[in-house]
Amino acid sequence: MILVADSSALIALATIDKLDILQKLFGEVYVPRAVYNEICKEGKSEAKALADYCQDKVQDIVSAVNLNVTLGRGESEAIILYKEKQADFLLCDDKKARRFAQNFGVKTIGSLGVLLKAKEKKLIDSLAPLLDRLMASQIFIDNETCALELK
């Protein structure tokens, strides 16, 4: 399977030290250059862990178009790279970007959905401590997102 990752979910998984489960669940993981540049800025939390993880996963897109003025460059590149790679999933936590992507036939999964899949495949023992760590961090996950991902 192929996964293309956007910044928000990568940051969430880095915050709880669970980036490694992406490879185990999906096999191929790609990160658009704009996403990499966004998450690896000096001074950003988890930048070192994200830079190390993404080092061999960064991809440039063929098209340089920005899909939508309401989406950021990273989100646009992630959707384009999903299409270019004919990926199975777009990893994204941003609600607006997910809705936009889904309107174009992009199958999305968020960080909570990844954790749920990891639990189902017995890659993690329990969701509760990971969710507690996410909630205690600066990562914002609203109740609607929790309900959608964990249903």
**pLDDT of res. 148:** 47
Which of 7-11, 43-47, 92-96 is predicted least confidently?
Answer: 43-47
Rounded percentage of the chain residues whose pLDDT exceeds 70: 87
CB 34 within 8 A of CB 8: no
The 10s digit of each residue's pLDDT in 26-49 is 999 999 999 999 999 877 778 999
Nearest CA among 134, 147, 142, 150 for reference residue 15: 134
State the average pLDDT for the chain: 87
**pLDDT of res. 136:** 82
- How many angstroms separate the Cα of 112 from the Cα of each of 15, 50, 72, 84? 13, 18, 22, 25
Confidence of residue 72 (pLDDT cuts 50, 70, 90): confident
